[in-house]
A and B are shown apart, each in its own frame.
Chain A
Amino acid sequence: MRITVNGQVREVEADPRTTLLDLLREYIGLTGAKKGCDHGQCGACTVLVDGRRINSCLSLAVMHEGDEVVTIEGLGTPDHLSPLQAAFLHHDGFQCGYCTPGQICSATAMLDEVAKGWASHVSDDLDRIELDDMEIRERMSGNICRCSAYPTIVAAIREVADAERLAEAAE
C-alpha cells in the first residue's frame, strides 16, 4: 500500500491485520507514536491523519491507503521544534515522556479544532468558545498521563494558545 508519512511517500507491504500504529512503528521505524493500551483508551498513539487527530491503534493501516499521516517526528525536529514541542520543554509538560508524543500531536490538532469553532462538552455556548483551562482539560481528556503531569501539560498548551491568539489579534 501507499501512504504519505511526514511528507514522504511510502510503499509498504503489510498484513491487513496491521494497525496504523504498528505500521508506523514496526514497518516504517517511526517510534515516536507510542503503544499504551492498544484499545483507544489512553491516547499515546495519537497521530494526525489528513490534519485530524486519531488513535492509530484502532485503525487498520489498510484503511489509510493514500492518506497523509503526520507523527510527532513530522511536527518538528530537535533543531526546529514546533511551538507546542518547545512549550512542553519549557513547562516540563512530562515526567517519563511516554505520553508526550500523543499529547503534543493531540494538542496540535486540538488548537485547529478550536480555530474551526468546534465546541466541547464543557462549552456553555455551542457557538462561542473561550479556551480556558477547563476547556483544555476536557479537549485533552483522550490523552492520559500516567505520571499525572497534567498541570504543566495544560500550562504548555495554554502558552501556545495565548501566543496564537495574540498573533491573530496583531494581524
Chain B
Amino acid sequence: MKPFDFVRAETVEEALAAGANGGRYIAGGTNLVDLMKLQVETPDKLVYISRLALDGVEQIDGGGVRIGALVPNSDLAAHPLIRTHYPMLSRALLAGASAQLRNKASVGGNLLQRTRCYYFYETAAACNKREPGSGCDAIGGFNRIHAVLGASASCIATHPSDMAVALRALDAIVVTALPEGGERRIALGDLYRLPGDTPEIETNLKPGELIVAIELPAPPPGRQLYRKVRDRASYAFALVSVAAAIAVENGVITSARLAFGGLAPMPWRSAEAEAALVGQPAGTDAFEAAAGALLKDARGYGHNDFKIVLARRTLIASLRDLTA
C-alpha cells in the first residue's frame, strides 16, 4: 500500500472540506482498501466518513423512502420499510457478498464500487480503466464475466453491484453534497457513464462530491423480484441478474420495470423491453418480445457469449414467476 494521510470527518462540512482538497472518501473500505493493497488505487489522502450522521432510513412525502449514504447493506436489507415495500432491494442486497461484508458495506460505497474485471485488478496487465491508453487485455482475453451491452472498444467491464440494479428498477435518486455548497439530485441512471473512450471516468460526480442519500419514490405497482445467476449458489458476483416489478390486471400487463446486472458497465435499464410488455397478455409471446428488445444490440466477446442466452432465459423465467 502507498502511504496516505488519514482524516476522520465528524460532520458533512468537514468531509466536504477535506474532499475538496483532493481527499478520497472511505466508508466501509471493503472495496477501496482491497484495491489499495493491490496498488490499483493509490489515494494520497483518505477521508473517513462512516461517523457522519447519514445512517437513517425514513419515509418521505409521496410515499417514498430516503436512505442515508452510510446505512450498512445488512441493515438496509433488514429494514421493515424496505422489506415490506421494496422487497427486490432487500433481495438484491442479501444476494450480494457475505454477511461480514454487508455489515461494513455502505450504500454510497456499494454504488461506487469498481469493476471486478481480472485485468483491472492485475497491475501487470493492460487496462484502459486503470491506466488510460494502455489497452484492454479483456478484449481477446478471458472475458467470461464481461459486458454484452453498453461496452466500447476501450473497455468491456461490468458494474458489479447487485444493490444498484434494484435501485435502477426502483427509479432511485442519488442525493449529493458539493464542496462549493449546495446539493444535487441525480437519477441513478445518470450517475453512471458508459465507457466510450474514457473508461477511467465512471460517474458524473464532480471532484469531492459526496453522496449523502438515496431517495426512492413510492414503490412500483405489482410484484417484485431480484433473481441472480452466478457460478456458486452464494458469495459470488452476478453473471446475470434481473430486478423486476410487474403488475398484471385481468391477464394483461399494466406496468413493467426491468433492470439488469452482469450485462453492462452500469446497472442496465431497457425502456424497449418494458414497452414490449405493457398492454400485452402476460405470456410467452410478450416475454420473448421483451427479451428480444433487451438483447437486440447485445454483442459477445467470446467467453461471455453465453450471457446473451442466459440473460434471455433468466428474464423469461423471472417474468413467468412474477406473473404466475
Contacts and interface: CB of A to CB of B under 8 A. Distances in A.
Interface of A: 15-17, 19, 38-40, 43, 46, 52-55, 58-60, 62-63, 65, 106, 109-110, 113, 116-121, 123, 126-127, 137-139, 141-143
Which applies to chain B's interface (DSSP): helix, strand, loop or mixed? mixed
Interface footprint category on B? 35 or more
Contacts of B159: none
15 contacts: A17-B3, A40-B34, A43-B98, A53-B99, A58-B30, A58-B101, A58-B104, A59-B33, A62-B8, A106-B100, A120-B99, A121-B95, A126-B91, A138-B233, A142-B99
- Give 8 nearest A-B pairs by CB, closest first: A142-B98, A141-B234, A126-B83, A141-B235, A16-B6, A121-B94, A17-B1, A118-B78
Given A53-B103, A65-B8, A58 B34 contact: yes
Interface of B: 1, 3-6, 8, 26, 28-30, 33-34, 37, 46, 48, 50, 74, 77-78, 83, 87, 90-91, 94-95, 97-101, 103-104, 233-235
Contact of B29 (A43, A58, A106, A117): A58
Nearest to B50: A63
Which applies to chain A's interface (DSSP): helix, strand, loop or mixed? loop
A137 B3 CA distance: 39
A126 B225 CA distance: 12
A16 B101 CA distance: 21
Contact of B103 (A16, A52, A63): A52
Most buried by A among B37, B98, B99: B99
Nearest to B36: A17
A60 B235 CA distance: 23
A120 B100 contact: no
Given A58-B33, A63-B26, A126-B87, A43 B8 contact: no
B99 A38 contact: no
Most buried by B among A58, A106, A110, A118: A58
Given A17-B4, A63-B26, A119 B83 contact: yes
A54 B94 CA distance: 16
B103 A117 contact: no
A157 B46 CA distance: 39
Contacts of A117: 78
B101 A40 contact: yes
Contacts of A55: 30, 98, 100-101, 104
Most buried by A among B1, B87, B235: B235
Contacts of B99: 53, 106, 109-110, 113, 120, 139, 142
A43 B91 CA distance: 22
B78 A119 contact: yes
Contacts of B5: 16
Contacts of A123: 94
Nearest to B232: A141
Nearest to A55: B100
Nearest to A105: B100
Most buried by A among B33, B34, B78, B95: B33
A67 B103 CA distance: 15
Given A17-B1, A127-B83, A118 B101 contact: no
B231 to A, nearest CB: 13
Contacts of A109: 99
B48 A38 contact: no
Given A59-B29, A116-B78, A54 B3 contact: no
Contacts of B78: 116-119
A120 B90 CA distance: 9
Given A59-B29, A60-B29, A137-B234, 14 more contacts: A16-B3, A16-B4, A16-B5, A40-B98, A46-B100, A60-B6, A60-B26, A63-B29, A116-B78, A119-B90, A126-B91, A138-B233, A142-B99, A143-B98
Nearest to A141: B234
Contacts of A127: 83
Nearest to B33: A58
Given A55-B30, A121-B94, A126-B90, A62 B6 contact: yes
B66 to A, nearest CB: 21
B29 A141 contact: no
